[in-house]
Chain A
Amino acid sequence: MISDLFSVTVLIGILASGIRLATPYLYASIGETFGQRSGVLNLGVEGQMLLGAFAAFYVTLTTGNLWLGVLTAMLVGAAMGLAMAYVTVSLNAEQGISGIGFFLFGLGMSDLLFQKLMGTVETVKGFPKVYIPGLSDIPGIGEIFFSQNLLVYGAYLLVPVAWFVLNRTTLGLKIRSVGENPDAADSLGVSVARIRYFTLILGGTLSGIAGASLSIALLNVFQQNMTSGLGFIAVALVYFGAWRPVGVLAGALLFSMINSLQLWIQVLGIPVPSDIAVMMPYVLTIVVLVATVSRVRAPSALTKPFEREN
């Protein structure tokens, strides 16, 4: 039975599932990476995702326009990011507590809107699979990488873009300096507040897309609390990935691949108790984290509100 795991169908299945499962993590974690690199820990990702998921779903359900759905999710996420920025940057509130508050707000508000506007679980026609000409015909590889929906491709394209912005642009330099040494950045004329507003709004926007990727691309359904902790895993993946987009990608893929592997282990009837199987992604991610990641330092100013010394 164990040997069944190595058949082509199973390997393709595991990889293709893993690629899909990693999609929402990528959007949310990359967004969170920007926020944390600029010194703000946003624990409200889950709430932003839930509201984004609902907004995308509801707009798609009523208008039939998927892109309008994504746009609404982005706007809703951005608004949540703006509110988070106002509370943590302008009012200097404690970041962890504020984030939990925004998570609960998103959880409650998405539920309330769902009850009032929809009332029952419905389905929509989400983003269809897009077969990339030529590439999708390659046996195996094509099915894994080039037969997914647009939001899945978008998530993977985001990784190099985020890397480029963070490491090769002036904006990226400002973000990093604000997260490492806000006083120095401030004395050089970089507005710490403006940068943090920007990264939090960007993070919210991406979390909104993460929600939309669930509700109108991968699952095509909205249910209360449908993210079920995914947003918190996304925050953890930023630490796992040592605040680097490529590290985040590695973490998201590792976690998702092991998750799809454990699904197959159960389906193939390999005698592993289901409780142990569902623990695997969590346990192995921790093991890998402990074993491989060098002691990368977190951005120095992370979670510290910035107040100019006069």
Chain B
Amino acid sequence: MKKFAWFLTLMLAFALVLSACGSPAATEAPAPEPTEAPVEEPTDAPAPAGETFRVAVVMPSAINDLAFSQSMYDALTRIQEEMGAENFEFVYSENMFNVDDAAAAIRDYASQGFDLVIGHGSQYGSSLQEIAPDFPETSFAWGTTLDTFGEPNIFAYEAASQEGGFVNGVMAATLSQSNVIGVVGPIETGDAKLYVDGFKAGVLSVKPDATVNVNYIGSFSDVALASEAATTHISAGADVLTGTAQMVVGAIGKAEENDVLWFGTQSNQSSLAPSIVVASQVYHWEGILNEMISLIKSGTLGGQSFQATLANGGEVIEFNPDSTVAADAQTLAEETIQGIIDGSITITLP
């Protein structure tokens, strides 16, 4: 009996470590698998300098969340494929909802001598601001923001997600027959707000009299509420939906059930509902990461900020090959993307 009690205690302790993920033990990234995702931007990957470049990243959700965290994981995986596992390695801590745990992990990674430590989430900013001065030899990066706190060893990055939002909005407006479009958002701030505002602007640029209903559910993880939010939009007459952050998987399910079109963002969501996903805005952080890596190798450890845009390839609109409507929408989207890149289309945010 006593043995069992010990076992139980052990199991509980194990679970605690697992769930909190605050353990300094890093998860080794698996060897890259070949993917067909073409990287469109010019690859200015720095030449191998003989020594392995080591990156550690702390993410708020799981690496396979089909959203924000996955976009970073995929980017690091692509860089590893490009540079080779012997020249580039990365480790990550996922599901770091708890900022204190994340701060502990960041400090730990920094003391382990990683070349670049990334806090992939705007909630990690104040932790980095505190930790970075203690490790002047280590480079830090955080997003999504453009604020480096004036520290010489902090990089900042963000996605101009309003651009992809605008393109998605233009397509959504064209495909909507009821002229009612629904948006499921998490919390009205940062990346989500940029995307939603851009999306609205895109819809209204095509159909000024269309209705865009926006619903922020106040959570990044409440799948059940996201699902009811989608049902609410559909009851209100929406025939096209979009949404941002990892809890939208619940909303996509409702869209599929009701045969309502879906536009994704942050990561390619086509696999989840191939019949209704039209296109997704996908973040390709590798361009920005490669720039940071070159700078670090040449001795600049921070102080600069970067923005992923359609023009620099940091954002890519990926179409769902299975979508029956994608072909028409694609032409229009490509024109819009071109317009945003050459400046003939400007996005006015509220």
Question: Number of residues in B with C-beta < 8 Å to the partner?
Answer: 52
Contacts A91-B5, A121-B249, A278-B217; A105 near B12 (Cβ below 8 A): yes
Which of A21, A101, A107, A274 has its CB near the most chain B CB atoms (within 10 A)?
A274
Interface residues of A in 46-95 (CB under 8 A from B): 83, 86-87, 91
Residues of A within 8 A of B246 (CB): 223
Residues of B within 8 A of A111 (CB): 18-19, 62, 95
Residues of B within 8 A of A277 (CB): 216, 218
Taken together as a complex, chains A and B put the C-alpha atoms of A218 and B249 apart, in Å, by: 12
Chain B residue at minimal CB-CB distance from A259: B225
Chain B residue at minimal CB-CB distance from A102: B12
Out of B8, B19, B253, which one reaches A104, CB within 8 Å? B19
Contacts A107-B19, A266-B215; A260 near B95 (Cβ below 8 A): no
Residues of A within 8 A of B232 (CB): 13, 17, 260, 263-264, 267
CB distance from B269 to the nearest CB of A (A): 9
Q: Is A173 located at the chain interface by the 8 A CB criterion? A: no
Q: Mark A183-212, 1 if CB is under 8 A from B, else 0.
A: 000000000000000000000000000000
CB distance from A94 to the nearest CB of B (A): 13
Interface residues of B in 1-55 (CB under 8 A from A): 4-5, 8, 11-12, 14-20
- Are A226 and B272 in contact (CB-based, < 8 A)? no
Taken together as a complex, chains A and B put the C-alpha atoms of A301 and B217 apart, in Å, by: 39
CB distance from B13 to the nearest CB of A (A): 9
Q: Is B294 located at the chain interface by the 8 A CB criterion? A: no
- Are B227 and A219 in contact (CB-based, < 8 A)? yes
Q: Is B256 located at the chain interface by the 8 A CB criterion? A: yes
Out of B17, B18, B213, B250, which one reaches A269, CB within 8 Å? B213
Interface size bracket, A side: 35 or more
- Are A17 and B15 in contact (CB-based, < 8 A)? no
Q: Is B236 located at the chain interface by the 8 A CB criterion? A: yes
Taken together as a complex, chains A and B put the C-alpha atoms of A30 and B258 apart, in Å, by: 32
- Are A219 and B231 in contact (CB-based, < 8 A)? no
Contacts A224-B61, A263-B229; A278 near B253 (Cβ below 8 A): no
CB distance from B207 to the nearest CB of A (A): 17
- Are A119 and B235 in contact (CB-based, < 8 A)? no
Taken together as a complex, chains A and B put the C-alpha atoms of A246 and B79 apart, in Å, by: 58
Chain A residue at minimal CB-CB distance from B70: A120
Taken together as a complex, chains A and B put the C-alpha atoms of A194 and B297 apart, in Å, by: 67
Residues of A within 8 A of B62 (CB): 111, 115, 224
Residues of A within 8 A of B222 (CB): 228-229
User: From DSSP, what is the main secondary structure of chain B's interface residues?
Assistant: helix
Q: Is B188 located at the chain interface by the 8 A CB criterion? A: yes
CB distance from B5 to the nearest CB of A (A): 6
Q: Is B228 located at the chain interface by the 8 A CB criterion? A: yes
Chain B residue at minimal CB-CB distance from A101: B12
Taken together as a complex, chains A and B put the C-alpha atoms of A111 and B228 apart, in Å, by: 24
CB distance from A255 to the nearest CB of B (A): 12
Interface residues of A in 218-241 (CB under 8 A from B): 218-221, 223-226, 228-230
Residues of B within 8 A of A115 (CB): 62, 64
Chain A residue at minimal CB-CB distance from B246: A223
- Are B219 and A228 in contact (CB-based, < 8 A)? yes
- Are B66 and A268 in contact (CB-based, < 8 A)? no
Q: Mark B209-251, 1 if CB is under 8 A from A, else 0.
A: 0000111111101111101110111011000000000110110
Contacts A111-B18, A223-B246; A20 near B188 (Cβ below 8 A): no
Chain B residue at minimal CB-CB distance from A110: B19
Chain B residue at minimal CB-CB distance from A273: B188
- Are B224 and A268 in contact (CB-based, < 8 A)? no
Taken together as a complex, chains A and B put the C-alpha atoms of A303 and B179 apart, in Å, by: 56
- Are B11 and A275 in contact (CB-based, < 8 A)? no
Q: Is A112 located at the chain interface by the 8 A CB criterion? A: yes
- Are B272 and A123 in contact (CB-based, < 8 A)? yes
CB distance from A169 to the nearest CB of B (A): 33
- Are A266 and B16 in contact (CB-based, < 8 A)? no
- Are B253 and A219 in contact (CB-based, < 8 A)? yes
Q: Is B198 located at the chain interface by the 8 A CB criterion? A: no
Which of A86, A214, A223, A230 has its CB near the most chain B CB atoms (within 10 A)?
A223
- Are A226 and B221 in contact (CB-based, < 8 A)? yes
Contacts A111-B19, A260-B232; A121 near B12 (Cβ below 8 A): no
Taken together as a complex, chains A and B put the C-alpha atoms of A66 and B15 apart, in Å, by: 28
- Are B228 and A21 in contact (CB-based, < 8 A)? yes
Taken together as a complex, chains A and B put the C-alpha atoms of A150 and B253 apart, in Å, by: 18
Q: Is A299 located at the chain interface by the 8 A CB criterion? A: no
- Are A225 and B221 in contact (CB-based, < 8 A)? yes
CB distance from A147 to the nearest CB of B (A): 12
CB distance from A14 to the nearest CB of B (A): 9
- Are A9 and B235 in contact (CB-based, < 8 A)? yes
Which of B62, B213, B214 has its CB near the most chain A CB atoms (within 10 A)?
B62
Q: Is B76 located at the chain interface by the 8 A CB criterion? A: no
Contacts A121-B64, A223-B246; A274 near B15 (Cβ below 8 A): no
Q: Is B273 located at the chain interface by the 8 A CB criterion? A: yes
Residues of B within 8 A of A86 (CB): 4, 8
Taken together as a complex, chains A and B put the C-alpha atoms of A66 and B49 apart, in Å, by: 55
Q: Is A140 located at the chain interface by the 8 A CB criterion? A: no
Contacts A21-B224, A267-B236, A275-B218; A108 near B14 (Cβ below 8 A): yes
The 8 closest A-B pairs by CB, nearest first: A278-B218, A108-B18, A108-B19, A105-B15, A274-B216, A108-B15, A228-B221, A107-B19
Q: Can you report 22 residue pairs joining A to B where beta carbons are below 8 Å apart? A: A10-B236, A12-B235, A13-B235, A20-B228, A21-B224, A21-B225, A86-B4, A101-B12, A101-B16, A105-B12, A214-B223, A221-B250, A224-B65, A225-B95, A230-B224, A263-B217, A263-B225, A266-B216, A267-B182, A267-B215, A275-B188, A277-B216
A residues apposed to B, CB below 8 Å: 9-10, 12-13, 17, 20-21, 24, 83, 86-87, 91, 101-102, 104-109, 111-112, 115, 119-123, 214, 218-221, 223-226, 228-230, 259-260, 263-264, 266-269, 273-275, 277-279
